[in-house]
Amino acid sequence: MTSAAYMAGRQKYTRPQGMLWADSPGTLENGVYLPNDYEVSAANSGTLGNQFIALSDDNRQPIGFQVERIEKRERMINGRMRSYHIADKLSISTSWNMLPSRAFALDPNFDENGQPNADSFMYTTDGGAGGVDILDWYEKHQGSFWVFLAYDKYSTFGNDDAAYAHLPQYNQIVEMFFSDFSYSVEKRGGSTHDFWNISVTLEEV
């Protein structure tokens, strides 16, 4: 399983990347959500079943949330509306403009502390997944996967003072499907990488 030290090493700034996609829901360790997988391109990750990718925040557009409230409404004989609530389901959409097609010049082969191979130059500023990594994940996931979200949603952890301390962590985990995916090659680079535009929409199971 990925350790807290690994995730800290992959975190360039004070907060993790806005989204992480994983094959499993992970675990809650000492109040921190950790993916219960190994990152794509981590050492020996190719021999393991469950993997994850941390998506770059480079040129990412806002993460849009839309809630579908599944319910049955009908008016009673007295004219009052009554609702039979079934569930709330989430849809998430976002896009990237001019995202490097690759995050590193070579296979980063991340070590146990989340540090890439010293010879692999980084093209995304935060080391998050490039266009090819995102496309590859889409092509390999016809079924559902887990989305880790890092935004201010302290209510997940309660309503006491300790709940407010989770800002620099993943705050929400949702099992989702791809409902829409598109990409375009905006510019082709000379000898390093291309620049891609990517748009994704995800729908909760």
Condensed to tens digits (0 to 9), the pLDDT of residues 178-187 reads 999 999 999 9
Query: Cα–Cα distance between 80 and 71 in angstroms, integer?
Result: 16
For position 49, what pLDDT does the model report?
66
- pLDDT category at 100 given cuts 50, 70, 90 is very high
For position 86, what pLDDT does the model report?
93
Is residue 12 exposed (0-12), middle (13-18) or buried (19+ Cβ within 10 Å)?
middle
- pLDDT category at 27 given cuts 50, 70, 90 is confident
Closest CA to 57 of 26, 27, 14: 14
Quote the Cα angle for 36-125-189, to 5°.
115
Query: Which pTM value belongs to this model?
Result: 0.90
